[in-house]
Amino acid sequence: MGKGIVDKLKLQFPIEDEWLGLEIHPETPPEGRDMSQLYPAQMQEQLFNQLNLMGKNYGIQFKPNGWLANSRLSLLLSEYAKEAGVFDKLHQKLFQAYFEEGIDIGNRETLLQLAENIGLSRGEAEQSWQNQIWQQRLEKISAAAQKDGVTGVPTFIINEKHRITGAQPYQTFQDSLQKIILTDC
């Protein structure tokens, strides 16, 4: 949904975007974990109802799967995909797989298939998980996010000083950008 908001805003505002991957729950075991260990069922239902209400504007139907994937391998693959020039394709596939199809994006085989679907080889995907460059990049992103007080995703940082956190309505972004343009220019 964040990408849909940014794409729509780009039609109205001169936006340059950079997506940074952040592990919100790095303590999640590699195999993932049951979402009920973190959030009660009623809270999960409310969250997905709210997300689906907002997602309608972007053609997104969130599928609650009750499972929290470990996102580290996905994030490492995403860093490699940036260098390979296929980040946008991978980003779209990962979000669609996890949020709309309920697929575990922490699963190696799933990620290998997604990589192949966007033109990367299985070998490239596997190497991305071992490459120290991508691991160090994720660590730097995590340290910067912690320093800046980022605790949730999505977090949109505008002009390095304005912040919008969470799944907010489009109007919130539109109003904020209009105010920022007036005050920062």
Portion of the chain with pLDDT greater than 70, in percent: 99
Q: Which of 89, 87, 94, 88 is nearest to 72 (CA)?
A: 94
Which residues are bridge partners to 165 per DSSP?
155
The more confidently predicted of residues 81 and 39 is 81
pTM: 0.90
Per-residue pLDDT tens digits for 101-117 = 999 999 999 999 999 99
Report whether pLDDT(72) > 90.
Answer: yes
Residue pair 93/114 in contact (Cβ under 8 Å)? The answer is yes
* pLDDT band of 152, cuts 50, 70, 90: confident
Task: Compute the average pLDDT of residues 20-32.
Answer: 93
- Domain extents for the chain? 18-148
Mean pLDDT of the chain: 92
pLDDT attached to residue 86: 98
Per-residue pLDDT tens digits for 33-48 = 999 998 899 999 998 9
Report whether pLDDT(185) > 80.
Answer: no
CA-CA-CA-CA dihedral for 113, 35, 150, 135, to nearest 10: -40
Q: What is the CATH number of domain 18-148?
A: 3.40.30.10
